[in-house]
Amino acid sequence: MSRSLRSRREAGFQHVEILIVVVLVSLALVPALEALTTGIQAAGIHGTLVEDHYHVRGKLEDVLAQPFAELDAEAVALGDPTAPSSYSDAVATPRRRLVRLARYDGDNADTDGLPFTGGDEGLLWVQVELEGTAHVLETLTLQ
């Protein structure tokens, strides 16, 4: 075989090899792009969850910054740990935060095992919930 015929044949094989590689890479790109799309969507959802967390946390810190006597008076006036307190956001507020206050039965002196019956003076339960979501933070605070 002449040298030029062999070069043409090898060149032909190179073009076929390049075509096969392009087809394989194209097939592999579809799942790779789908994986990236899922990652981008997850990043957006994570951003929203973090935003909601800090929105609730900010309200909790604002409430805990209030004098204990005011919080205790509000908890006693409410009398119901499921009722939103006056520290909650207004009704029409977007992303409304509900604040609940109650005296907490930390020593269980009444031996009923319920946390809100026979609440101890000087111990308050504070809960902040982002209305309509599962975002809830709660804590106990002492006088």
Return left, alpha or beta for 126; rule: phi > 0 is left, psi -120 to 50 is alpha, else beta. Answer: beta
pTM as predicted: 0.71
What per-residue confidence (pLDDT) applies to 143? 85
* Residue-wise DSSP of 59-105: HHHHHHTS-HHHHHHHHHHH--TTS--TTSPPTT-TT-EEEEEEE--
Count up the domains in the chain and report the number: 1
Is 129 within 8 Å of 119 (Cβ atoms)?
Answer: no
Percent of the chain residues past pLDDT 70, beyond the cut: 91
Across the chain, what does the average pLDDT equal? 87
Q: Could you tell me the residue range of the domain that residue 17 belongs to?
A: 3-142
Question: Is it the case that residue 119 has pLDDT exceeding 80?
Answer: no
